[in-house]
Structure 1
Amino acid sequence: MTLLLIYAAVGALAGLIAGLFGLGGGVIMVPAMIYTFSALGMPTDVLTHMAVGTSLMAIVVTSISSVRTHHSKGAVDWPLAMTIVPGILIGSWLGGKTAAAMAGLHLQMAFGGFAIFVAILMLRPAPADRASLPGRPGRVLAGGIIGWASALFGIGGGSLSVPFFSFCGVVMQRAVATSAALGLPIAIVGAATFMWQGWGQAALPEWTTGYVYWPAFLGMVVCSAPMAKVGAQLAHRLPAALLKRGFAVFLMLVGAQLLVSGMIKAG
Structure 2
Amino acid sequence: MPPIEDLILFALALAGAGVVAGILAGLFGIGGGAILVPVFYQVFALVGVDEAVRMHLAVGTSLAIIVPTSLRSYFSHRKRGAVDDVLLKSWITAVPLGALLAAAVAAFSSSEALRAIFAVIAVLVAFRMLFNRASWRLGDDLPRNPFKYIAGVVIGVLSGLMGIGGGVLNNTFMSLYGRPMHQAVATSAGVGVLISIPGLIGYIIAGWGASGLPPFSTGYINWVAVALIIPITLLVAPVGVALAHRASKRQLEIGFGIFLLIVAARFAISLAE
> What TM-score, normalized to structure 1?
0.88
Determine helix, strand or coil for the equivalent of 1:170: coil
Matched residue, 2:190:
181
1:197 to 188, 196, 206: 206
Superposed counterparts of 1:36-47, under 5 Å: 36-47=43-54
**Structure 1: unaligned runs, 5 residues or longer:** none
Paired residues of 2:129 and 2:253 also in contact (CA < 8 A): yes
Matched residue, 1:137:
146
Matched residue, 1:158:
167
Bigger mean CA offset, 121-130 vs 82-91? 121-130
1:102 to 109, 112, 117: 109
Whole-Å Cα distance in 2 between the matches of residues 151 and 229 of structure 1? 27
> What TM-score, normalized to structure 2?
0.87
Residue 13 of structure 1: CA displacement? 2.9
How large is the RMSD of aligned CA atoms in angstroms?
2.6
Residue 124 of structure 1: CA displacement? 2.3
**Structure 2: unaligned runs, 5 residues or longer:** 1-10
Paired residues of 1:62 and 1:228 also in contact (CA < 8 A): no
Determine helix, strand or coil for the equivalent of 2:93: helix
Matched residue, 1:254:
263
What is the percent sequence identity of the aligned residues?
36
| Number of aligned residues | 261
Residue 234 of structure 1: CA displacement? 11
2:219 to 210, 213, 221: 210
Matched residue, 1:8:
18
1:149 counterpart = 2:158: yes
Matched residue, 2:82:
75
Superposed counterparts of 1:108-127, under 5 Å: 108-126=115-133
C-alpha offsets along residues 91-122 of structure 1, whole Å, 9 cap, x if unaligned? 11001111111111221222122212211111
Paired residues of 2:23 and 2:240 also in contact (CA < 8 A): no
Which 4+ runs in 1 deviate beyond 4 A? 225-236
> Larger radius of gyration, structure 1 or 2?
2
Whole-Å Cα distance in 2 between the matches of residues 124 and 83 of structure 1? 30
Residue 2 of structure 1: CA displacement? 2.1
Paired residues of 1:15 and 1:226 also in contact (CA < 8 A): no
Determine helix, strand or coil for the equivalent of 1:123: helix
Change (3 A) 1:167 1:7: same
